[in-house]
Amino acid sequence: MKITIRKGTEADLPAILDLVRELAIYEKEPDAVTASLKDYENDFKNIFETIVAEVEGKIAGMALYYLTFSTWKGRMLYLEDFVLTQSHRRHGIGQLIFDALLEEARKKEVRLIKWQVLDWNTPAIEFYKKNKATLETGWWNGKIFIT
């Protein structure tokens, strides 16, 4: 199996959006993705970046992230989504993407990477624990949808 890990490009955005939709289905929120391909195209590079995994020339996984700021720690990278197609899980591809994300964080000289994981997503939790992540359980997320 030929695997290539690289920075995502604008040409990858349709496949990235498909992966986001697949993740929403996995997370039991199939109708939650309302961002369009046009939204992705408008904000790619200005707001977010991606790392993609190609398997035999087809996008099989990705990490979508952006720079932000922690008032306590300073420059921070936020991992918005990290997903592999169902058929490509458990082959080490996720670890390759995660390692590339860590390297990108070092290049950007961030002090930490933050993300969310659902409390029932045992495979993801175990993956992050294997990578020596600190998983916080005492914080609640807040959000307001602006329509």
pLDDT of residue 63: 98
The residue among 46, 47, 49 whose CA lies nearest residue 13 is 49
Q: Which of the four pLDDT bands, split at 50, 70 and 90, describes residue 139?
A: confident
Selecting among 26, 40, 78, 128, the annotated active-site residue is: 128
Q: Cα separation of 23 and 130, whole Å?
A: 21
* pLDDT over 90 (residue 107): yes
What percentage of the chain reaches a pLDDT higher than 70?
100
The residue among 147, 87, 139 whose CA lies nearest residue 117 is 139
pLDDT of residue 115: 96
In the three-class reduction of DSSP (H, G, I as helix; E, B as strand; rest coil), residue 123 is classed as helix
With beta carbons less than 8 A apart as the criterion, state whether 100 and 113 touch.
Answer: no
User: What number is the average pLDDT over the span 104-133?
Assistant: 96
User: Alpha helices, DSSP H only, in 67-136?
Assistant: 93-107, 122-130
pLDDT of residue 39: 97
Q: Cα separation of 31 and 119, whole Å?
A: 20
With beta carbons less than 8 A apart as the criterion, state whether 118 and 27 touch.
Answer: yes
The residue among 39, 19, 10 whose CA lies nearest residue 97 is 19
CATH of region 3-130, choose from 3.40.630.30, 3.40.605.10, 3.30.70.20, 1.20.1050.10? 3.40.630.30
65 is catalytic: no
pLDDT of residue 54: 97
- At residue 5, φ and ψ (nearest 5 deg) are -110, 125
User: What number is the average pLDDT over the span 74-96?
Assistant: 95
- At residue 51, φ and ψ (nearest 5 deg) are -120, 130
**Average per-residue pLDDT in the chain?**
95
pLDDT digits (tens, 9 = 90+) for 32-57: 999 999 999 999 989 999 999 999 99
Q: What is this structure's pTM? A: 0.94
Structure tokens at 108: 């950007």
